[in-house]
Amino acid sequence: MSTVPEAGPFPNNSQPPADGRESLRDERPALRRCVAGDLDEFANSYWGSRALLSHAPDLPAPYDDLFSLEAVDELLSRRGLRTPFLRIAKNGSVVGDSQFTGPAGAGAEVADQVRDDKVAALFASGHTVVLQALHRTWPALVDFSTQLAADAGHPVQINAYITPAESQGFSAHYDVHDVFVLQVAGEKHWTVHEPVHLDPLRNQPWTEHSQAVAAAARDREPVIDEVLRPGDSLYVPRGFLHSAKALGGVSAHLTIGLHTLTRYLLVQELAVLAADQASLRTALPLGFDPGDPEQLAEELPEVVEFLTQELQSATPEALAARLRRRTWSSNRPAPLPPLAHAASIASLAVGTTVRLRAGLRCRVVPGDPVALQLPDRTITFPAVTAAAVAELASGADCKVGNLPGLDDADQLVLVRRLLTEAVVVATAQ
């Protein structure tokens, strides 16, 4: 089997609707590969609240099309990786970068490229290798992360952990994001415990509760105490304590982190919206001591009143605009080959088929003009293009010449604009 995937595991037109709504009963191919059983049951009974082990026979396929030990060797020896794309640890302690990086040699003034010989020595001595951000560096996982982010509605990152036999990279801890563990090679014994700090936010790391974490891992009964074998998947909600140890051979697994969007995110953005109220931007009195409860008691009631008024007047439209800018860019859309894309713009003609760029979040707002909301900007078009823009944003294949409401010349103008803006891409026919 080739160590370089020729194509991603999903069709390029696997897109959520332009307004972001989709039933879990619809096909979600990446999520389907992580969870056995009914996806609606997973959403209602496990998401964010319970760990779940899914065994290989109950899942669609093993994970060797996504990653492999051969892929690990290629990344470490032939891809010119730099920090922070690699981390190395043993028994919970992270090795300094200088122990496995060095200059890149003649013609490449890069001082922190990964040294394969140093990595080999560390691995042979029992260290765990952590390949970080594989959703940016390994083709099959770039495609998989794009699809999973669309399936789950939460930003996705992917790391790989490669552990020598009978070794442990990290002690019991919790993550501030939800995790899918996909076992790629070897066997690893996983232990999962209930949280000591429920639903931690990103600024509430496990180190703030390290004593409670250690005590819980030592004294409590685990909710999962199982060996993962190739093709198995484990879901661990954020806050759940977990640790893993490789067994009789080299073990490799993918850790897929879902950076969970929370209600607190809405609170944060509502507070920013409230800052538009001038009364909340007023300076506190000269000489004010914020640590004095008596002085705070003089200011707090008025501040609470102003804030409450602003929160009650906030609109979903205003909040959604802020959240689009903050969250839609958390995962990049599918890679865009610049030279091939420029050629497709130059060769655009009636009969060319295009589709929405995979993983690109967008929303069509009808009106005059029609607005196409994107993660970092809004593009407008004449009202007459409304039906055509909606079709192009749907994720379906669209042929120039068949778009509704426009003649061929106007269709070419519209599609050329969307190609230039990297909203749509030409498809191979």
Q: Are 206 and 174 in contact (CB under 8 A)?
A: yes
- Provide the 10 A C-beta neighbour count for residue 141: 27
Cα-only R_g, the chain: 25
Q: Are 271 and 217 in contact (CB under 8 A)?
A: no
Q: Residue 120: which residues within 8 A CB-CB, separation 6 or more?
A: none
Among 258, 303, 250, which residue's Cα sits nearest to residue 148? 258
Cis peptide, bond prior to residue 285, ω within 30 of zero? no
Could you give all domains of the chain from N- to C-terminal order, each with its CATH number? 29-258 (2.60.120.650), 263-327 (no CATH), 338-426 (3.90.930.40)
What is the rounded distance in angstroms from the CA atom of residue 34 to the CA atom of residue 190? 17
pLDDT of residue 365: 96
Pairing of the two strands 241-246 and 188-193: antiparallel
pLDDT of residue 410: 98
Please report, for residues 19, 27, 349, the alpha-carbon distance to residue 388 in angstroms, rounded to integers and kept in the order given. 16, 25, 16
| 141 φ, ψ (degrees, to nearest 5) | -80, -25
What is the rounded distance in angstroms from the CA atom of residue 15 to the CA atom of residue 228? 31
pLDDT of residue 169: 63
Task: Give the type of residue at 415.
Answer: V
- Provide the 10 A C-beta neighbour count for residue 419: 21
Output the DSSP codes for 158-211.
Answer: EEEEEE-TT--SS-SB--SSEEEEEEEES-EEEEEE--SSSS--TT--GGGGHH
Per-residue pLDDT tens over the stretch 124-158? 999 999 999 999 999 999 999 999 999 999 999 99
Residues linked to residue 185 through DSSP beta bridges, in sequence order: 252
- Provide the 10 A C-beta neighbour count for residue 92: 12
Angle, alpha carbons 264-265-270 (nearest 5°): 95
pLDDT of residue 92: 76
Residues of the chain with pLDDT under 50: 1-25
The two structure tokens encoding residue 154:
């939460």
Task: Give pTM, 2 decimals.
Answer: 0.86
- Helix or strand holding residue 137 (H, E): helix 134-137
